[in-house]
Amino acid sequence: MNDKSIKEKVIDKCKELGIPFVGFAPVERWSKPPKELPNNFNEWIPEEFWPNSIYPDAKTVIVIGLPVQLPIVETAPSIYYHEHYKTVNILLDTKAYEISNFLTEMGYPSIYLPRDGYGDIDILLKNPITFFSHKHAAFLAGMGSFGENNVLLTKEYGPRVRFTSIFTTTPIEGDNVTGVDLCKHCQRCVSQCPVNAIHESKGSKEFPLPMDKIGCATRSKELRKKYTSPCGICIKICPIGNDRNKFNRKDLSIYSDKNGTKYNKAWDHVKKYGSN
């Protein structure tokens, strides 16, 4: 069996499992990043966060992604988005577990990573970084580019995709990295963040942009007490993603119009029940 056929089998397995996004990044991309990356990094991923620092036998990182549904995110912060987020997270972990077992059974030992690598927001408040970044893995697998909101933007769903990763010991051909910056630099995420956690880029193409991760995590902690975390605002208002066409949400003024539109009424209704 050659490398390509393993890749095709994984893609087929993802189709069977209902996974719309899958990407492949050879582990060398962490030590020798492709030239075509869409964002310029002023500080590259430290070696302790590379795949081989976590699973020394890994040859390829397989990244899978599941979308969050825009009309549900629009109710955020709410119990509705809170529950949706939990469901997507459980599905991600389950599907990644199945893919890693599928590969291991074929003779290619593989392990999956949890979609989140922290126990509680209090941990993030002390140290707002996890042991592996799926966003960066998706980036290195050519699945998108970073937005000013520090989230990976995809063509199909903008920032409304959750990712996780599988480390496999078999070499698999990596996907192309196109170098296309999907962010429109519209600054909507900057201006609409309720705690000013996202700082204006002022035209800088350097990445990561300065961000108040503690401020964002503090808001998340407050929302968690009310059963309405995560915040989701910079996710819902981002104009990127074909899901806006699918859900007929090209008009972004619905997010700033407070004059009792049918959408505002629906969101207000959801927010009134089931959480504090």
Give the DSSP letter string of 203-270.
T--EESPPB-HHHHHHHHHHHHHTT--S--HHHHS---STHHHHTT---GGGGT--S--HHHHHHHHH
* Three-class SS state of 50: coil
Nearest-CB residue for ligand SF4 = 147
Residues found in the chain: 276
Least separation in angstroms between residue 77's CB and ligand SF4 is 8
Residue among 107 and 247 whose Cβ is closer to ligand SF4: 247
| Token pair of 197 as six digits | 């956690």
Q: How many residues bind ligand SF4 (CB under 6 A)?
A: 22
Least separation in angstroms between residue 186's CB and ligand SF4 is 4
223 binds ligand SF4 (CB under 6 A): no
Residues 67, 162: Cα–Cα separation, whole Å? 6
Residues 52, 30: Cα–Cα separation, whole Å? 9
148 binds ligand SF4 (CB under 6 A): yes
76 binds ligand SF4 (CB under 6 A): no
162 binds ligand SF4 (CB under 6 A): no
| Closest by CA position to 175, among listed 12, 26, 52, 71 | 26
195 binds ligand SF4 (CB under 6 A): yes
Residue among 61 and 234 whose Cβ is closer to ligand SF4: 234
| Token pair of 88 as six digits | 């997507």
Residue among 99 and 198 whose Cβ is closer to ligand SF4: 198
152 binds ligand SF4 (CB under 6 A): no
198 binds ligand SF4 (CB under 6 A): yes
| Closest by CA position to 22, among listed 153, 168, 164, 177 | 164
| Closest by CA position to 23, among listed 69, 67, 65, 66 | 65
| Closest by CA position to 159, among listed 143, 175, 174 | 143
Residue among 13 and 221 whose Cβ is closer to ligand SF4: 221
Residue among 175 and 222 whose Cβ is closer to ligand SF4: 222
Q: Give, as ranges, the residues between 225 and 244 that touch ligand SF4 (CB under 6 A).
A: 231, 233-234, 238-240
Q: Is the link from the previous residue into 230 a cis peptide, with omega within 30 of 0?
A: yes
134 binds ligand SF4 (CB under 6 A): no
In this chain, which of 189, 236, 244, 249 binds ligand SF4, going by CB under 6 A? 189
Cβ-contact 174, 166 below 8 angstroms: no
166 binds ligand SF4 (CB under 6 A): no
184 binds ligand SF4 (CB under 6 A): yes
Interaction site with ligand SF4 (CB under 6 A):
147-149, 183-189, 193, 195, 197-198, 216, 219, 231, 233-234, 238-240
